[in-house]
Structure 1
Amino acid sequence: MRRTTTGTALGAAAAAAVLLTGCGSDTPKPAADNGKPGASQSPASSAPAAKSGGATHEVTLEVGGTGKTAVMYSGVDSGFEQQTLPWTKSGTVELTAAEQKVGYLVNVVPGTITGADGKLQQAPCVIKVDGKKVAESDGVTTTKGCSYTIK
């Protein structure tokens, strides 16, 4: 039994060595140019890589109200900054094929403002995708900000 165990261990080690040795290549691959001037380029790498499935959408984030408040946003850039209201951020989002399947999250979470009744409330927000309103919060009945997944 000891010979079988030893033989199996040696056989596994030999198999691992063969597999690892077989992974290499005698011919080195050409170095990537990384866009550096003077680097060698093969004809196949001269064209820029394109995103597969690149659907584009125009996204607009809006926060209403007056005064100043902190605004956290992502999807069209990202940030967490003190903003003067009303505030708008627009940009173009290009989705990969994978993002078109699982979605691309866009959100805006505004801070508080003083409401008409003198009480603090969350500032209202809106998200528009390709000109269509897809999410909104009035800051009173819905206070989680605005969030939407583009597909």
Structure 2
Amino acid sequence: MRKTATLTISVLATMALVTGCGGEKKNAGPAKTSEVSPSSPASGEAKGSAAGKKGVPHQVIFEVGGTGTTQIMWKGNSNHFQQVTLPWTKTETMQLQDAELKVGVTVSVVPGSVKGPDGMLKPAPCTIKVDGKQVADNQNGKSSEPCEYKLKD
């Protein structure tokens, strides 16, 4: 019971911290669960040097394993908190711009708890892939740390 309470508090504290950080990117396309292509500029967006510098598009895949349902928090182009059915995958195309090109953007997924083989709750396994390469994981749920990665061009 104490382990479950500590894990729940850790997940909630992490979600509060990650949710409070960063802002929503205005030029990003909608999140899709299938293969995505780079998003085109919005119709009202300026072209040329006035629009600022843009990096190359990156395909970011968030995955949470397990069975059943759980709550997750994830941050790609914007922050999300939702109840999902496992296994779960979300794919986004992200394109850094202006200051993000220098400092990067943190992408993350905080998985909820799932029942382990011993009946105890543990973090669901999570991974993040960027452009087809796995860049973060929580050691198949052995770590209570969220999966996070600093995306840079």
TM-score per shorter chain, which class? 0.5 to 0.7
Aligned to 1:10: none
Aligned to 1:139: 141
1:57 Cα deviation after fit: 0.5
- Cα RMSD after superposing both structures: 2.2
> Which structure has more RCO (C-alpha within 8 Å, separation ≥ 6)?
2
- What TM-score results when the alignment is normalised by the length of structure 2? 0.64
1:47 Cα deviation after fit: 4.3
- Is 2:64 the partner of 1:63? yes
Q: Which runs of 4+ in 1 moved over 6 A?
A: none
Residues 122/47 of structure 1: CA separation in 2 closer, same or farther (3 Å cut) = closer
- What TM-score results when the alignment is normalised by the length of structure 1? 0.65
Residues 46/114 of structure 1: CA separation in 2 closer, same or farther (3 Å cut) = closer
- Contact kept? 1:100, 1:150, Cα under 8 Å: no
Aligned to 1:105: 106
Aligned to 2:54: 53
Which segments of 5 or more consecutive residues in structure 1 lack a partner in the other structure? Answer: 1-34, 36-44
Which segments of 5 or more consecutive residues in structure 2 lack a partner in the other structure? Answer: 1-43
Residues 46/103 of structure 1: CA separation in 2 closer, same or farther (3 Å cut) = closer
Post-superposition Cα deviations, 1:2-34, rounded to whole Å, max 9, x if no partner, equal xxxxxxxxxxxxxxxxxxxxxxxxxxxxxxxxx
Q: Bigger radius of gyration, 1 or 2? A: 1
Post-superposition Cα deviations, 1:22-61, rounded to whole Å, max 9, x if no partner, equal xxxxxxxxxxxxx5xxxxxxxxx97475441322100000
Aligned residue identity for 2:75: S
- Contact kept? 1:111, 1:123, Cα under 8 Å: yes
Structure 1, 80-89 or 51-60: larger mean CA deviation: 51-60
Residues 98/136 of structure 1: CA separation in 2 closer, same or farther (3 Å cut) = same
Paired residue secondary structure (2:54):
coil
Count of residue correspondences: 108
